[in-house]
Amino acid sequence: MHLVKRFALCLAAGLVLTLAAHQAKADDAATTVTGKSSCGGCSGVVKGCCVMLTDTDGGRWILRGDSDVLKAAFAARHSGKTMTATIDGAAAVKKDSDGKEYKEVKVTAVTIGS
């Protein structure tokens, strides 16, 4: 009887650990960045107009991705609204013509706030 209880307990513990690990991976996959919107081209960070977010630490994020995903954000980029972008993959750290760093990221979604 004790063997059955131990087996059930071990099985339950294994299931809990598996679910916890899966949740951690899901949280890592859904990385976001939030900041005030502007135009990366008009700001002199990159060539050509694009959506740029400036986070609370002053970090600059150039958003790249599917045009349908960025369409509303592109239209509102000059408004200075807060936007949150869901990042797909790692950020590419680059430098503008003045040598100041910015990050270029591919995004899968953008939410426009106030």
Q: Maximum distance among all alpha carbons in the chain?
A: 73
Per-residue pLDDT 10s for the chain (114 aa) are 566 566 555 544 454 444 444 343 334 446 999 999 999 999 999 999 999 999 999 999 999 999 899 999 999 999 989 999 999 999 999 999 999 999 999 999 999 997
Listed in sequence order, the residues at least 6 apart from 79 whose beta carbon sits closer than 8 Å to its beta carbon are 37
Token couple for 114: 């106030």
Architecture of domain 31-112: Beta Barrel (2.40)
Token couple for 111: 């939410």
Rounded Cα gap, residues 66 and 59, in angstroms: 23
Rounded Cα gap, residues 93 and 66, in angstroms: 20
